[in-house]
Structure 1
Amino acid sequence: MPEPLILPLPDCSDPRLVGGKAAGLGALLRLGFQVPPGICVTTGAVRLAIREIGFDAEAAWARLVTAGPADRVQRLHEYQQQMARLAVPPQVLHELDDALQTLELNRPGSRVRWWAVRSSAIDEDGPRLSLAGAYRSRLGLLREEMASAIPSVWASCWTLSALTRARDARLPTMAVLIQPLLAARAAGVAFSCHPVTGEPHVVVVNAVPGLAEPLVNGTVTPDSFLIDMPPAQPAPRVRQRAISEKSSARIVTEQGVVDHALSPSRRAAPSLDEADVLRLAQLVTQAAACLKTDVDVEWAQDETALWLLQARVIAPHSVRTGLSDATSTWSRANFKETMPDLPSPLGLAFLEEFMEHGILRHYRALGCRIPAGTSSIRIVAGRPYINVSLFQSFTAQLRGDPRLVTEQMGGEGAPIPYGPAPLSWWKVARAGLLMEAKIRRAARRAEGWFREMKDMARVPQDDDATLSSPAALLRQLSAINQRLRERDLTFAIVGGVSQAFMVLGLLLERRLGLEWRARLNASLQGSGAVISANQIYRLTALAEAACREPPARAFLLAEPWRPQGFRAALAGTTFLTKFDVYLRDYGHRGLAESDVASPRFADIPEYVLGVIRAQLPAPSPRAAEDSAQVTAMKRRAALDDIRQRFGRRRHEWICFRWWHRRLDRFLALREANRHHLMYFSAAARRLELQMADHFVATGRLTHREDLFFLLPEEIRLLAEGTGLRGPEWVAQRRAEGDRLARETPSDVIRGLGELTQASADHDAQQPEAKSLGVLLRGLPIGAGVGEGPVRLVLTPADAGTVRRGDVIVTPV
């Protein structure tokens, strides 16, 4: 019996005859899934066409597989010319026309105008090879175009890309699947298990508005949803979602397939609503169960139904089991302390540069490996997140305890399931010696480096801006950046803190049990925050000075309060003299100070006066000296308690004291390093604002603060006079910032998604949320356990309500 040349889709079952795609869809159709009807031009048709031109395709393919790189390219070009001679045999065209006409007659609704002509090779969508996207498909064709479209699909297996991906397979004989083109509202791909980690009982959905062709081609970023699909109760739920910005959608119109610009409201909207996402996830799970294997499904949704367009087997070797962005936990706890909720583009660029030059290069020098596809920083909804799993991986490679990382960075303390193996012991010993050398060098050089950073702030003041051109200012900025790269001690100082904490933990846990951390924290009170504590004490002292000086007290407590004229109102007072000294010492600090776009206290002295003003009504404020004495007493009491716990083990106590003093020293260095790094930040900010003044004066920017919405390379182009699109770039990023400001991403993110509305809804259903009216989510600022009344501190005015023993909850 001769092999058929044309088959309706329900009869497609043999991949050798109809290819993997048609065989898979035929199976889904017979199982009752919604699949658009179709006609398959079988592999018999292409074999017939090849025989008619006298081309030995099997022998040609064998020569390609064994040819060297240069010979392969030349031979492939020759064979492509042979395949270009292919024509659809007349009997195939006749049968196809009849079959398409029958399909149209049996299809409800209007006549089919546009068709999809899709590849279905015998090695495609199988259990060994997927070859997704390797071959050609064409969308939006008329019936009259079939004679030219089918040979172009046949020839698509004779490309270097297809050969590279399938070179160990036999000749990829090509069938062709023809289906009505759906007028999709949304389309995409979905996976019945996690495509990166292989995690079971989850479905990953990628979606775009309109047809999925831009997604398959890799030209757009899809919306991504991760859905938990537990084998039993509870019901499925969306765990993570990441909604991308879409500028256009590829849609089907009367004129054919066109790219349609989306309205502003639709660009940031999800391509699928949550009900459809869950319905699709259940459909994909059912398909995997029926086919008895995990599948990668292409789908589309039109006005009538949710359709399955393709089902590929997820090959076991395609699931990566290494540390990657998709398998990592991300936290923004640390960044929330030092950066605004929505940092500036320039601030984010500086952060990424600092992470590379100030942190990662040191880990590489220690011998740690960073897996390909793994980032240290990720920007989600305009906010920076640090890769906690990557830093846990570094600790594990150095044979340390990865749990300590989450105490400093946030996260959830879960062990990392993937990552590079620990270094050999001799490499760990080498890394230890190298790290010890870095730590000791940092201790020796810190004071000199801190003075040098303070000198960086002595750049031309704003009224001298006309003395320097943008190019000269750029050179100054580049020079201080280079000095920071070469001399920065952050990695070594933080390493000194981590090393001492680890050793003290080993010493104390054996003697104090679970209490060791609380006792150690108490013994360190004031150690790691000398500069910050002094800053607070100075503010308290200023409040007390204002209380003792009637003009200052009257000005600060006046209603309504107008701080803008404070210099004239406070002229000649002791309070103003002390306030100026405070600004001299701390004016380079600020709120969200790690972002150069954030103003310093010297720029906004009225804010600092507001903090002092908020303390004045507080009853009997404790003197700064009293606070320091209380802290010192608690510290001595904790050390005495630890000494007693060691008992007669004097050698352990001596070892503890040595490491405790070292930790004390490096906690102070860490605080001082941060304080002096802000001199560098303030210097960079001043230079950038001077450049911005030049750009505003020459019409290259509208406002001086616009500069912070540009990237370093764009600033360089503006300085050279070639960046004519400055205002356009700024306008786009300001609009994007306004949109992102309305989003509230989670503090901790797993994988490639973020906290979803579904998670928020789940939180709102918890008993605590019902009793309080709202459930507050956040991260502790330090390890340990405490108990007491919760005190919400939302503004400086709330400081007066705080009492000893309160648990403070405040946004950072």
Structure 2
Amino acid sequence: MLSHASAMGLPVPQGYVILHEAWQHALDANLAVRHQGTVEAPDAQRLRSGLALPSLPGPLAVRSAFSSEDGAAQSQAGFYATCLWVDAQDAGQLASALCEVWSSGHAETQRRDILVMQMVDAKVAGVAFTERDYEDDLVNYTSGTAQGLVAGEVEGEALQLLKLSPGSRRVTAALTEPWAIRLQELLRAVRCRFGDCDWDIEWADDGTTCWLVQIRPVTRRTRRNEAFTIANFKEILPELPSRLMTSLIASCADGLFAYYRAFDPTLPAHRPLIEVFYGRPLFNLSLLCDMLRHWGLPTRLVSNSIGGDVDRDTALHLPRLLKSAPALLRLSASQFNAVAQSRRTGRALVERAQQPGDTFAACMDTLQELFTSLVCQMLALTGAMSGPLLLLRRAGVLEEHHARQRTDATEMFIDLAPLRHLAAHRPGIRADLERGRLPADTEFRQVWDAFLAKHGHRGIYESDIARPRFREAPETILASLLHASEGRQARTAPTWRGRLTTPLWWYASRAIRARENLRAQAMRGFEPVRERLLALASEAVARQLLPTLETLWMLDIDEVRQLDQGWRPSSDFLAQREQEIARLSTLPVPDLLHRFDDLQSTLHVNTAPDNGRWTGISLTAGEVEGRAWVLREPATALPDGFSPDQTILVARSVDAGWIPVFGCVRGVVVETGGDLSHGSIILREIGLPAMTNARHVTQQIKTGDWIKLRADVGVVEMR
């Protein structure tokens, strides 16, 4: 391939190939002989003249180019000998180098071609992988020659280089080394000449030219140190989700990214959208950012959508945006129709869930269908609302409009008001609630039954199928009825900006309502699947396949399927699984991590601001002071000495399952979230003073700390 590269104008050192047939001739003519597994040249000058080797100026690199080295499915690069700085005028050195390379091949069936090229006096050299599925090229480099790097003897340094598009003159702004810019241009030239495929390239830079010294197809895709975020899952799942739900979500990864590939088949085909780290499902943030970069869109749109941090912020790229216009138009058309489609999807989800199946395997299939359909439709709705909400926030009217919005989740908050009123004004009801009993009062029971009929399918961290629904476990809601805060802000009169942006809000609000109502419909569908799973688990307990019902949630989906065949997890298996779950539960996974991060090394990093002040995203207006109540999971029994009107909830994330808690506090500070997060939408609609994306607050603020929340500017301060 190097000869083709040279013919195409790429910078390739002068050289030639000694074919396998020359090796055979050398043996037949006794120019070279085998002795105890090695090859020797009895007469170096005779070997050189017998092979009629061309003359090249300067020192040489003598390298293997064996047939087994660059196979289509497997590469053995670095397995065979390479000799550098061989004196071209010294027949003895050249013969010795040829024999050393020939000797490094042991299979008789392989061709033993040898590549001889002019030596590059490299200041920097290395290996680069350019792959279709990535927007950056992966580079490993070292000073001097890269022989040790290629052979795996030295680690070298790693670098991600932005791919240059054909005709583009842009280079990565952070590049200060001229060799890196020259390498960037060489890799672009390789793609232009050989096609935008996956290439494994060896290169050497002599200070003025970056030389191509080897090119071969990538035989095994690289495993890169990609960035992952727990931000969106942190909002809807418990701190450590059940093993079953985590594995189910991961199993849907390909189907979820297929949503985007349906609009643009040129998007990555072999990178999973979701992977599991430390027992938690995490979104591949690098993949999502690469998708936006591929389309020429700014990567900050990812954090605006799902919250959390972006590993690297890149700006709008107009040429790429124009090139991606057809795919983006198809995506936009889908988002425009997303509201109507979501209604059909919601009905289909509920209908599908009514027949979850009679086996564990069938229930797993049903859950995968429900989850994939739900998330794909949510992606469309999120895309439909993201642009308008960004414009409304910039216009300063987002909170004004949202305060008048009502979705299924906020109706739950509103529907608790009659129950709170009864608890506040009837001593008998309050006494029953204080004893942890469901009040027997007839009117209370009527209102309560109506509430459960409407909202009983919801629950705390309801997206985890292992979590009970409110219908099964109403204790949190009942306890919340004992507390009532006056934290909601009064609605303000419409402003002129609000009136001007009403059409834009109308478009966004349709998607917001559709998304939240679709989630409620999906949870209505999850309930019968959960009921069927519990019934099957009860049968498995009776057959002594499982020790308890709760054991089911400790298994992954493949293990659950095996229960249909009578598989019985051993006591040792379950003990090890319990130990693993206990260990994972102690690990506070950061919002942003990289594949090769050592989590233990990041556990004690001090992330507290020096001034006791945290900033984030303002969700509502209002300024309140009070005691911090730091919660990892929803609870409604206030700590001793706390009063609802002087309590500020501080949580890692919130969703519909936290609604009972919102009635017990004056304000809310959320660690992770964005404008489009479910919890953010609920808090804006309820009207509590609230902010989100306040980084690390649950680690640095303690329950009982006196804090001041300035929700209108997105600031929380220690007092």
Instruction: Bin the TM-score by the shorter chain.
Output: 0.5 to 0.7
User: How big is each residue's C-alpha offset from its partner over 1:338-359, in whole Å with a ceiling of 9 and x where there is no partner?
Assistant: 11111222201221234432x3
Aligned residues: 512
Could you tell me which residue of structure 1 aligns to residue 535 of structure 2? 690
For residue 793 of structure 1, give the secondary structure of its aligned residue in structure 2: strand
User: How big is each residue's C-alpha offset from its partner over 1:667-693, in whole Å with a ceiling of 9 and x where there is no partner?
Assistant: 011111111111232233222222222
Unaligned runs of 5+ in 2: 1-16, 41-60, 82-98, 118-124, 130-136, 144-151, 160-201, 649-664, 672-697, 700-719
2:551 maps to which of 691, 706, 717: 706
Shift of the alpha carbon at 1:504? Answer: 6.1
When the two chains are superposed, the root-mean-square deviation of aligned CA atoms in Å is: 5.3
Distance 1:314 1:423 in 2: 30
User: How big is each residue's C-alpha offset from its partner over 1:453-477, in whole Å with a ceiling of 9 and x where there is no partner?
Assistant: 34556569xxxxxxx963xx64365
User: In the alignment, is residue 475 of structure 1 matched against residue 475 of structure 2?
Assistant: no
Distance 1:781 1:167 in 2: 63
Q: 1:737 to 1:403 in 2, by over 3 A?
A: same
Distance 2:316 2:578 in 1: 38
1:593 maps to which of 462, 477, 480: 462
Could you tell me which residue of structure 2 aligns to residue 444 of structure 1? 340
Amino acid at match of 1:705: E
Paired residues of 2:240 and 2:585 also in contact (CA < 8 A): yes
Q: 1:540 to 1:63 in 2, by over 3 A?
A: farther
Amino acid at match of 1:450: G
State the TM-score, normalized to the length of structure 1. Answer: 0.52
Q: 1:131 to 1:422 in 2, by over 3 A?
A: farther
Q: 1:743 to 1:556 in 2, by over 3 A?
A: same
Distance 2:312 2:115 in 1: 40
User: How big is each residue's C-alpha offset from its partner over 1:612-636, in whole Å with a ceiling of 9 and x where there is no partner?
Assistant: 23x1xx5xx44xxx95xx56x33x5
Paired residues of 2:350 and 2:521 also in contact (CA < 8 A): yes
1:371 maps to which of 248, 268, 285: 268
For residue 326 of structure 1, give the secondary structure of its aligned residue in structure 2: coil
User: How big is each residue's C-alpha offset from its partner over 1:230-286, in whole Å with a ceiling of 9 and x where there is no partner?
Assistant: xxxxxxxxxxxxxxxxxxxxxxxxxxxxxxxxxxxxxxxxxxxxxxxxxxxxxxxxx
User: How big is each residue's C-alpha offset from its partner over 1:428-459, in whole Å with a ceiling of 9 and x where there is no partner?
Assistant: 2354145414541x323433443443455656
Shift of the alpha carbon at 1:519? Answer: 2.2
Amino acid at match of 2:469: R
Shift of the alpha carbon at 1:595? Answer: 1.5
Q: 1:123 to 1:668 in 2, by over 3 A?
A: same
Q: What does 1:173-188 align with in structure 2 at a 5 Å threshold?
A: none
Shift of the alpha carbon at 1:160? Answer: 9.8
Distance 1:703 1:155 in 2: 64
Say which structure is richer in helix: 1
Q: 1:497 to 1:595 in 2, by over 3 A?
A: closer
For residue 462 of structure 2, give the secondary structure of its aligned residue in structure 1: coil
Q: 1:387 to 1:584 in 2, by over 3 A?
A: same
Shift of the alpha carbon at 1:530? Answer: 1.8
User: In the alignment, is residue 391 of structure 1 matched against residue 288 of structure 2?
Assistant: yes
Could you tell me which residue of structure 1 aligns to residue 518 of structure 2? 673
Distance 1:405 1:526 in 2: 27
Q: What does 1:548-697 align with in structure 2 at a 5 Å threshold?
A: 548-558=425-435, 563=436, 566-567=437-438, 570-613=439-482, 615=483, 618=484, 621-622=485-486, 633-634=491-492, 636-637=493-494, 639-643=495-499, 653=500, 656-697=501-542
1:538 maps to which of 409, 415, 421: 415
Distance 2:666 2:142 in 1: 45
Shift of the alpha carbon at 1:719? Answer: 0.2
Amino acid at match of 2:36: A
Could you tell me which residue of structure 2 aligns to residue 796 of structure 1? 636
Q: 1:227 to 1:537 in 2, by over 3 A?
A: farther
Amino acid at match of 2:79: A
1:502 maps to which of 387, 398, 404: 387
Q: 1:686 to 1:727 in 2, by over 3 A?
A: farther
Paired residues of 2:374 and 2:519 also in contact (CA < 8 A): no
2:580 maps to which of 726, 736, 743: 736
1:767 maps to which of 610, 620, 632: 610
Q: What does 1:486-497 align with in structure 2 at a 5 Å threshold?
A: 488=373, 490-497=375-382
1:87 maps to which of 13, 36, 41: 36
Shift of the alpha carbon at 1:584? Answer: 2.3
For residue 696 of structure 1, give the secondary structure of its aligned residue in structure 2: helix
Q: 1:717 to 1:477 in 2, by over 3 A?
A: closer
Distance 2:333 2:350 in 1: 27
Distance 1:725 1:595 in 2: 22
Distance 1:152 1:338 in 2: 61
User: How big is each residue's C-alpha offset from its partner over 1:164-183, in whole Å with a ceiling of 9 and x where there is no partner?
Assistant: xx967369xxxxxxxxxxxx
Amino acid at match of 2:578: R
Query: What is the aligned-residue identity percentage?
Result: 22
Paired residues of 2:423 and 2:429 also in contact (CA < 8 A): yes
Distance 1:610 1:167 in 2: 79
Could you tell me which residue of structure 2 aligns to residue 331 of structure 1? 229
Shift of the alpha carbon at 1:391? Answer: 2.0
For residue 264 of structure 2, give the secondary structure of its aligned residue in structure 1: coil
Shift of the alpha carbon at 1:377? Answer: 1.4
Distance 1:734 1:197 in 2: 39
Distance 2:387 2:452 in 1: 37
2:400 maps to which of 504, 522, 543: 522
Shift of the alpha carbon at 1:797? Answer: 3.4
Amino acid at match of 1:478: D
Shift of the alpha carbon at 1:663? Answer: 0.4
Shift of the alpha carbon at 1:415? Answer: 4.0
User: How big is each residue's C-alpha offset from its partner over 1:698-724, in whole Å with a ceiling of 9 and x where there is no partner?
Assistant: 222222222222232322222023x35
2:79 maps to which of 134, 137, 154: 134
User: In the alignment, is residue 157 of structure 1 matched against residue 54 of structure 2?
Assistant: no
Distance 1:670 1:368 in 2: 26
Distance 1:757 1:374 in 2: 27
Distance 2:568 2:668 in 1: 52
Paired residues of 1:134 and 1:161 also in contact (CA < 8 A): no
Distance 2:564 2:666 in 1: 54
State the TM-score, normalized to the length of structure 2. Answer: 0.58
Shift of the alpha carbon at 1:782? Answer: 6.5
Q: 1:427 to 1:132 in 2, by over 3 A?
A: closer
User: In the alignment, is residue 808 of structure 1 matched against residue 669 of structure 2?
Assistant: yes
Could you tell me which residue of structure 2 aligns to residue 757 of structure 1? 601
Could you tell me which residue of structure 1 aligns to residue 251 of structure 2? 353
